[in-house]
A = this chain, B = another copy of it.
């Protein structure tokens, strides 16, 4: 019988009140779980406002160890609802460095995986001044086996780099997760550009799923924060690039899609890109 995995997305706005953000995230998880979701994803750095729009040392106080208060809260609800949870957290590491770190919490509440964002956008002009806050990740790209599927977290800006997805695919990922914080600069008036940015964001991520025979789950913030209007548009696509679910650009939603994992084997039989790849790497230069 085909293995089916129900994936939930919490597309949310995060404000200045970190406790209120946490409360909303837990409500979203609860709603997705009640709709049957087995793996639930939250946006990048959901607990805080997207502070990387400006340089302000006080924001370093938002950083926390992993495990810590946020993972504890997520572990509790994961255990209660028997769901896997994936998101990103502003991590203060033991050595004093700061990372933008994705966590994978299994359905028994255990922390099974951690990925530190590698591609750090260093772009103050457009509101992504992450270079001020985060070191580039030092844990490589990994695939984590959870109760329901083998998952690989990547984070936001990583989505523009096919290399991370390829490594995850070669390590056996069934689902790529991209917790994200991306939006339109509020002063950007060019209609074609706004449309193109949103569309190309979907296109490149969907292609990573095609090229590596994975599902792709992108979960984004939504609504205005300071000078960025986060564009939502969270989605799930399958290994054939079919979009199973797409959230609106302008409001919070908690959505669930059932994913037939059997389609991975079907595509591998028809279109064996992944296995072909390893035969010819010596030719590329």
- A271 touching B160, Cβ below 8 Å: yes
Any B CB within 8 A of the CB of A262: no
Q: Tell me the bound Cα distance from A280 to B196 in angstroms.
A: 26
Question: Contact mask A195-217 → B, CB, 8 Å, 1/0?
Answer: 01101100110111011000000
Q: Could you say which of A17-25, A54-62, A162-170, A222-230 contacts chain B?
A: A162-170
A207 CB contacts on chain B under 8 angstroms:
162, 203-204, 206-208
Instruction: For the complex formed, measure the closest distance between the CB of A269 and the CB atoms of chain B, giving whole angstroms.
Output: 9
Instruction: For the complex formed, measure the closest distance between the CB of A268 and the CB atoms of chain B, giving whole angstroms.
Output: 12
- Residues from 171 to 224 in A contacting B, C-beta threshold 8 Å: 192-193, 196-197, 199-200, 203-204, 206-208, 210-211
Any B CB within 8 A of the CB of A270: yes
Q: Assuming the A-B contacts A240-B200, A280-B136, are A160 and B285 also in contact, with contact meaning beta carbons closer than 8 angstroms in the complex?
A: no
- A241 touching B203, Cβ below 8 Å: yes
Any B CB within 8 A of the CB of A119: yes
Q: Tell me the bound Cα distance from A270 to B122 in angstroms.
A: 12
- A203 touching B200, Cβ below 8 Å: no
- A280 touching B203, Cβ below 8 Å: no
Q: Tell me the bound Cα distance from A204 to B271 in angstroms.
A: 13
Chain B residue with the shortest CB-CB distance to A242: B196
Q: Could you say which of A28-36, A83-91, A137-145 contacts chain B?
A: A137-145
- Residues from 109 to 130 in A contacting B, C-beta threshold 8 Å: 118-123, 126
- B167 touching A284, Cβ below 8 Å: yes
Chain B residue with the shortest CB-CB distance to A138: B283
- B119 touching A276, Cβ below 8 Å: yes
Q: Assuming the A-B contacts A123-B272, A196-B240, A241-B196, are A163 and B203 also in contact, with contact meaning beta carbons closer than 8 angstroms in the complex?
A: no
Instruction: For the complex formed, measure the closest distance between the CB of A178 and the CB atoms of chain B, giving whole angstroms.
Output: 14
- B285 touching A211, Cβ below 8 Å: no
Partner among B160, B167, B199, B210 whose Cβ is within 8 Å of the Cβ of A200: B210
Chain B residue with the shortest CB-CB distance to A166: B162
- A161 touching B199, Cβ below 8 Å: no
Q: What are the 5 closest A-B residue pairs judged by CB atoms, nearest first?
A: A207-B207, A200-B241, A162-B162, A140-B285, A196-B240
A-B contact pairs, 12 of them (CB 8 A): A118-B284, A160-B210, A160-B273, A161-B277, A162-B162, A162-B207, A163-B277, A167-B285, A196-B240, A200-B210, A200-B241, A204-B207
18 A-B pairs besides A121-B276, A192-B242, A207-B207 with CB distance below 8 A are A119-B277, A119-B280, A120-B280, A122-B276, A138-B283, A140-B283, A160-B210, A160-B273, A163-B284, A167-B284, A167-B285, A193-B240, A196-B240, A203-B206, A203-B241, A204-B211, A204-B241, A206-B207
